Amino acid sequence: MDFIFANQSLYYLTKQAFKEAMQEFYELCNEGAIIFATMMSDKGYSMYERGELMDNGLREVKGCPSGRLSGSSYIRFTKDIEELKEDFKPFKPLFWGDYELINLYNFEGSVEHFIYIGQK
């Protein structure tokens, strides 16, 4: 495998499942392969009702301010760039950053995500 694209998907995994996925991705990749991934910033879903951090690294998120979503999601938030780089080891970091989407008609608070690009 030469490229992994994981956009807005990995933060639903528990800490242990994420760690196992990274190891499996690394083993599947050819030398020089690239991984592009996004993770939810700790600022994300700040307008929602967020539960306590569970032992598995996830938090329950519910109470969508606009009513667009119902029920609960379970998300593992990333607090900063250092945690992001640590989470994606053994890949070598090439680029990291963040982005924020803004919907002026349906504001639900911050949806900041971190971006990680790494290489085997």
Query: Which residue segments constitute the domains of the chain, with CATH numbers given?
Result: 3-119 (3.40.50.150)
What is the C-alpha separation between 48 and 50, in angstroms, rounded?
Answer: 6
Contact 57, 40 (CB under 8 A): no
Q: What is the pLDDT of residue 104?
A: 61
Amino acid making up residue 94: L
pLDDT tens, N- to C-terminus, the chain (120 residues)? 999 999 999 999 999 999 999 999 999 999 999 999 999 999 887 778 889 999 999 999 988 777 777 889 999 999 999 999 999 999 999 999 999 877 665 666 778 899 999 999
- pLDDT attached to residue 45: 77
pTM: 0.87
Are residues 15 and 45 in contact, defined by beta-carbon separation less than 8 angstroms?
no
